[in-house]
Chains A and B, each alone.
Chain A
């Protein structure tokens, strides 16, 4: 692999790992691990932990995929590997 491509790949993997950390935090963190303390906080009629587990985590998942798509669009062009 050329130097450029190595850099491209490294940037891709770094950004991806960052998104996966968010993925884990909203689902395993807010939705499971910290559900009890978060449930003590109320947003309208929603206990926060419950909201993350049944609504919030899913919204975040959708956003993560679109953010990754947009980032990779830019990165592909920057390193001239786009289709």
Chain B
């Protein structure tokens, strides 16, 4: 059976499953809609959190990124997992004991202020919205490559599916579909990884294969990582396992901003409101990271295998003999080759082959049938452009795996994108319908009205996300730095201080949040959109890492302002001491 037929079967089956789950877990009350009724078992919440967290970027892009960056890619591996330790130790149990519905809920109640609630609300929506646009785009790309439908049609199908199960089931529907989506995505990630590990390293466990010897070809018997170090150095790259030129301080700051940002992302935090107890919150954070770690420790192995495979199969080989996957991806414009020295052989070296993303001259092909690139060429001897995003998607083809495996990867990519999108959409919907509409505008709203507003908001949020998925603004890649930087510099410090320092008051929290956000946003905007240059960086810290400094500013300002103004009211201090002990954590309560 062809890849296309298999893909239709896999995607059809998994989508039917999601719809079926959504139908049986549809809800009628706001508690079910916002926090799944508060009765999700820790193991299920761990799986749902893992699916919620691992997006199209984790599934599709991360291994590709590491493949090209080598050791330097570790910032993503550590940054996107280390945050869960902070979450489990500093936030999750206490927020669960507090037991409301959203992050702005905690901020607004703990700091007895609607201003604080509003600032938190705006941040939550902004962070989630920037994130969700990328997910919709991911859905579109998977559809267009594997089901041969236009990207836009793919985005529309994705929108319809998400709207159906998020609108119908709210958090409850999302939770149980995420459990299913985790199963699909992890299977889809592991099967090709195991196959390739067997092929290259002769062991079914990719984490061990990464440190094993190569089984076939000219490097037989040498350690894979040694071979990669050698290949990279020969072709002019930094050795695979060694740190590059990036300053140590910058690497520190980026990793820290990613960790703290992860712990401060609202769609991850709210998952811990859905479990029945504080004990369950602590435990499910462990399960969540365990399930995430299965993918995150496989990814560097996939990255190394892909790097080896790619260099081994195409570098210094004649274009005429290039494998079929090479030409398939060339058609999509994600691979491009310019024969700079007219020898008909693909030379892959360090450096960019030409300026920018490939733009092809329509309808014209070169003497060997290759597409002709219209971009301005560079002086680098490199002739090959490979988009980093294709490494995971193309890997099964590169390794000649059976068609059903390739189809499974497509279904897995969709599961990763859809599960994250739905979690984010719920944050947007609950922020507006609960925090803004119910808490700040209409305190008398009935259960039914609030549920309706929640569903309408999901609808609107899906449409906005879909619009940006179809017409991606040029700055999507840039805004991801924004999402983490803002989450790190806004929520994290004031939630931590709100729990660990009873003295922190309203004035401190508002000033701290504003100082953190304004500093971080201004820095990112200046360097990403207003043409700031590298030599102007503060202490050599890149915009990706500046959230760390924003976070420190937030901590300091909150602390200083709090100690200069009057202490919080007695009932707030009692609230703080009550969230420090687990007993009495009822189900998440309405208020």
Contact = CB atoms under 8 A, between A and B. Distances in A.
Question: Could you tell me the dominant secondary structure of chain B's interface residues?
Answer: helix
A58 B89 contact: no
A36 B277 contact: no
Given A31-B74, A83-B279, A66 B286 contact: yes
Contacts of B119: none
A68 B84 CA distance: 12
7 contacts: A13-B500, A45-B223, A46-B210, A53-B71, A55-B297, A58-B297, A68-B282
A42 to B, nearest CB: 8
A54 to B, nearest CB: 4
Given A19-B89, A53-B78, A54-B74, A27 B255 contact: yes
Contacts of B248: 32-33
B252 interface: yes
Contact of A64 (B73, B77, B85, B581): B85
Contacts of A79: 581
A60 B298 CA distance: 16
Nearest to A55: B297
Interface string B270-287: 000000011100110110
Interface in A40-83: 43-47, 49-51, 53-55, 57-59, 61-62, 64-66, 68-69, 72-73, 76, 79, 81-83
B542 to A, nearest CB: 15
B293 A57 contact: no
Contact of B580 (A5, A28, A33, A45): A5
B242 interface: yes
> Which residue, of B71, B213, B279, B584, has the highest number of chain A Cβ atoms within 10 A?
B71
Given A5-B577, A76-B279, 13 more contacts: A1-B577, A13-B500, A35-B71, A44-B211, A53-B74, A58-B77, A58-B297, A61-B82, A62-B289, A68-B89, A68-B282, A69-B279, A73-B279
B105 to A, nearest CB: 21
A27 B256 CA distance: 10
B242 A45 contact: no
Contact of A45 (B213, B243, B278, B583): B213
A65 B582 contact: no
A32 B251 contact: yes
Interface residues of B, number: 52
Interface of A: 1, 5, 8-9, 12-13, 16, 19-20, 23, 27-28, 31-33, 35-36, 39, 43-47, 49-51, 53-55, 57-59, 61-62, 64-66, 68-69, 72-73, 76, 79, 81-83
Contact of A20 (B85, B93, B224, B243): B85
A9 B73 CA distance: 38
B207 interface: yes
Contacts of A5: 577, 580-581
Contact of A68 (B88, B500, B577): B88
A54 B302 CA distance: 12
A51 B256 CA distance: 19
B286 to A, nearest CB: 4
Contacts of B583: 81-83
B255 A65 contact: no
Contacts of B255: 27-28, 32
